[in-house]
Amino acid sequence: MNELMLFVGLVVLTAAFFSFPHPVLRRIGILSLGVTTFAAGYLATGNLWIGAACVSAVLLLPWVEILLRVRKLRLPLRKQLRQSTPPSREMFLALGELSDDIEAAGFEHVADLGWEMDGYRQFLRLFAHPQKREEAAITYVEQNQLGFHFASVTSRGADGAVFTTWNCPVSSSLKTPPSVHLHRLAGEAPFAAVVEGHESFLVERGMKEESLQAVDPDSVRAAVERDMETQMEHNIREGLLEPADDDHGRYSWRGMLYLWFQFLRDIFRFT
């Protein structure tokens, strides 16, 4: 009975830590989850090795998804973004409010675009702010009826460098090209904080407004497609992707290891 009460207490404590948005409390929640998983194996068998095996199994669980689904994916090397209808309110309730926040910051709505593949959907709502030479985007990623979203602000240097500030809640599934410089904020950061963080990021990088490319609202779509193509080419060169045919790539074993490390990175991330 005491062992059962201890386990129930650990479950409740872990759930309590995850109910708070503060990153430090969530980090403690991850550690609490590890202790709870260990306790489940140990209390059930009295064997320390079984407890440790349970913790290891949780860390290795993503390999089931990687081997059964990700390995079979065929990723288009050149994504053709098409006009897209927004996700339903049930799937993406915050879209309207976030769009209002971006337009209130002086950005104009450019287009709603997206692409789909094998149960995976990516929706992008693009914005432009020609006066500040900035682009903004709302990105919604959906897979098997589960989704997440983030906002980003992008500036482009005259030399082709790309500077992006975002609040994406998960690590990227592909490497970033050397010409792209990312500044990541906490996932719960509001759009006003993303804009402020981006301007500070540009100052840190020594980028002044006159050294940035002018933004033409009609060319934002082409610029985003070019960014995607550049990232695919970079990951082919890095060996994370390998050609599947003339138009598609797939994850290599090195790329699948990278995905798993990104998963572990997200687990132990403070922010």
**Res 66: pLDDT:** 80
- As beta bridge partners, residue 115 has 122
pTM of the model: 0.80
Half-sphere exposure of 31 (CA within 13 A, CB side): 8
- What is the spatial distance between Cα 73 and Cα 171, in angstroms, rounded to a whole number? 19
Q: Give the tens place of pLDDT for each residue, 89-120.
A: 888 888 999 999 999 999 999 999 998 877 78
Q: Is 175's pLDDT higher than 70?
A: yes
| Count, residues in the chain | 271
* Cα torsion through 185, 191, 195, 196, rounded to 10: -70
How deeply is 261 buried, as exposed, middle or buried, from its count of CB atoms within 10 A (0-12, 13-18, 19+)? exposed
Which tokens go with 268? 């132990």
**Res 111: pLDDT:** 95
Q: 218 pLDDT band (50/70/90 cuts)?
A: very high
Q: What average pLDDT is seen over the chain?
A: 84
